[in-house]
Amino acid sequence: MAETHIESLLKEQRIFPPSPEFSKHAHIHSLEVYDSITKRAAEDPEGYWADIAAELDWFEPWKKVLEWDSPFAKWFVGGKTNIAFNCIDRHLSSATKNKVAILWEGEPGDVRALSYQMLHYEVCRFANVLKSLGIEKGDRATIYMGMVPELAIAMLACARIGVTHNVVFGGFSAEALRDRINDSKSRVLITADGAYRRGAIVPLKKNADEALSGAPSIERVIVYKRTGEPVNMAPPRDLWWHDQVAKMAGVCPAERLEAEHPVFMLYTSGTTGKPKGVVHATGGYMTNVYITTKWVFDLKDEDTFWCSADVGWVTGHSYIVYGPLLNGATSVMYEGAPNYPEPDRFWSIIEKFKVNIFYTAPTAIRSFIKWGDLWPAKHDLSSLRLLGTVGEPINPEAWMWYHKNIGRDRCPIVDTWWQTETGAIMISPIPGALPTKPGSATRPLPGVVVDVVDRQGKSVGTNQGGFLVIKRPWPSMLRTIYGDPERYKKQYWSEIPGMYFTGDGARCDEDGYLWIMGRIDDVINVSGHRIGTMEVESSLVSHPTVAEAAVVGRPDELKGQGIVAFVTLAAGHQAAPALKEELKGHVAKTIGGFAKPDEIRFTDALPKTRSGKIMRRLLRDLASGQATVGDTTTLEDFSVLTKLREEEE
């Protein structure tokens, strides 16, 4: 890691205070209330978290809130609970039992609505299927499915009986699936015949069969019939979901689990080597996602909440399944692509289901910009009252487009920062209390202690770029990397001793607002200036012709590193040499001549992970003329990389 601080270049003056009408009805309705909660959390963190945990149901009370043996944490020690019980059973004694828990739309247009009572029945039946196969508390189950309600049912059924689930995104290859099964030593694979995506069928069972040729720990495969395509079934190993649940009763008591029982593991890709299995524990994770869903999204009983992520990612775990259900909300799930059959699919779902809260990724927003304003303009989006973003920093111009074209200038935007490893949102506006600034995640949530520091762990000055760290344990923090506690210590707690190292650069402004500057690996050193890629990308995207940009460094004998920008143009604009020069001049004008790209390459698409993050290290390899190394299993479309290489030649 570099010794010097990162220069902060982005200047953003626009401020959007919460509307009096929104604040009046908000859970946290003023800055004074927010400050008092934050003060309480700072003065008595354990008491603060204990009060939140007490809003949920526990079979046995905890004896100790936090046991901290740095860097290993245990939360709510001695307490017994069950996250599936808290997501479903605790709502069955009130009118919520008849409320829609999961409102689902398939890509072909089929719709299902599962009430809390129906969800309970289906989860119990599937939990009984697992038990009948000898799968028990302490085992791991790998789930490899498309975005269907049965994915959430399978997760909740595992959690109900103490089986740690390992969800593998349905777009992953057979090889990626095999790696994750083998590392987790799963006994059962839960999959489907296929899934719909952009009008085609993703052959999940076929991929699963290929993966299983080298996965000896799997004893049983349960297959949900989604598409009806013929698939190879290998009895007695392979079983149809519908055949098995038909035999089962809809009653299955929830296991009384220790708070530290691992509820799930989720693999996140490393820059090199094998993906790492991040482990989350029941009690702490449950507490953190419950309160962040309630406060960050100002979630009300009558809201219809839609997080457009895939459940295969942590965003889907926390804010499609667990967070909304813990709060007794209606959570929308959509199976397919945002532009199938037309680029207004998301807006038609919002209009049809009268969605109130919409949470999506900056990458998706930049795609919407590229497709043009006419698509959202065709739809009545008046049901929306709050918008959110997740996944990477949002550049101010994309924020403004989202505010105007989707929020129609009246919805607050919560720009959230968190990670697979943090389990829940760490930094975000509280929408009824905090004014927002386009491009800033604003302040850490109450109970979260972050700082921007130099290599020695010393706080840097106002508006100085540095390393984003978390200084205190929090309930939903990862407990370890599965099977590799040394890697956990080295990766997260050794870079800046005594602090959790996020891997992100950031700065803190005069109002205490945090601006995330992107991954530390993505910092470019140009003639002694350490520049965060996000700021140069924001400058490019602020030009009216640009929909999306990714900036990387390449070796330069004179300057140390030169800047290469990969640019996707907005609809109606053509690539031309003159435009390259215009864009270089635009960056020089908005940031400074030292940040001007040495080279601009126009491209139709950028290499992204399946959760929508740009894989800049692959672009770095490309810009430097190097072979691609490291883990590429999370890449969504390998043809994008192939095309970029061809263009280079």
Is 468 within a domain?
Answer: no
Domain count within the chain:
3
Is 282 within a domain?
Answer: yes
Distance CA 140, CA 142 (A): 7
| 289 plus 425 within the same structural domain | yes
| 201 plus 127 within the same structural domain | yes
- For residue 91, what is the DSSP state? G
In this structure, the number of other CB atoms found within 10 A of the CB of residue 296 comes to: 26
Last residue of a domain, one of 255, 271, 289: 255
| 283 plus 400 within the same structural domain | yes
Q: Where are the alpha helices (DSSP H) in 69-144?
A: 83-87, 116-132
CATH number at residue 527: 3.30.300.30
Residue type, 521: D
Residue type, 612: G
Q: What pLDDT score was predicted for residue 271? A: 47
| 105 plus 122 within the same structural domain | yes
Is 415 within a domain?
Answer: yes
Distances (CA, A) of 135 to 152, 208, 257, 485: 18, 19, 16, 26
Q: What is the mean pLDDT of the chain?
A: 92
| 174 plus 315 within the same structural domain | no
Distance CA 579, CA 478 (A): 46
Q: Where do we find the tokens 């300057």? A: 559
Q: What is the 3-state secondary structure (H, E, C) of 241-285?
A: HHHHHCCCCCCCCCCCEECCCEEEEEEECCCCCCCEEEEEEHHHH
Is 12 within a domain?
Answer: no
Last residue of a domain, one of 222, 255, 288: 255
| 108 plus 249 within the same structural domain | yes
| 394 plus 361 within the same structural domain | yes
Q: Which of 346, 356, 359, 333 is nearest to 413 (CA)?
A: 359
| 422 plus 543 within the same structural domain | no
| 621 plus 599 within the same structural domain | yes
Distances (CA, A) of 454 to 97, 450, 495, 509: 51, 13, 11, 16
Residue 426 near residue 439 (C-beta atoms within 8 A): no
Is 511 within a domain?
Answer: no
144 torsion bin: left (phi>0), alpha (psi -120 to 50), beta (else): beta
Is 372 within a domain?
Answer: yes
Is 212 within a domain?
Answer: yes
Last residue of a domain, one of 215, 237, 255: 255
Q: What pLDDT score was predicted for residue 3? A: 45
CATH number at residue 289: 3.40.50.12780
Distance CA 328, CA 293 (A): 11
Q: For the chain, how many residues are written?
A: 649
Q: What pLDDT score was predicted for residue 12? A: 73
Is 307 within a domain?
Answer: yes
Written as six digits, the tokens of 619 are 């672009």
- pLDDT tens-digit map of 411-450: 999 999 999 999 999 999 999 999 999 999 999 999 999 9
Whole-model pTM: value is 0.87
| 355 plus 224 within the same structural domain | no
Distance CA 419, CA 270 (A): 13
Distance CA 18, CA 16 (A): 7
Q: Where do we find the tokens 């399946």? A: 610
| 35 plus 175 within the same structural domain | no
Q: What pLDDT score was predicted for residue 42? A: 97
| 424 plus 275 within the same structural domain | yes
Report, as ranges of residue numbers, the positions in the chain whose pLDDT lies below 50: 1-4, 271-272
> In terms of residue numbers, what domain contains 249?
85-255
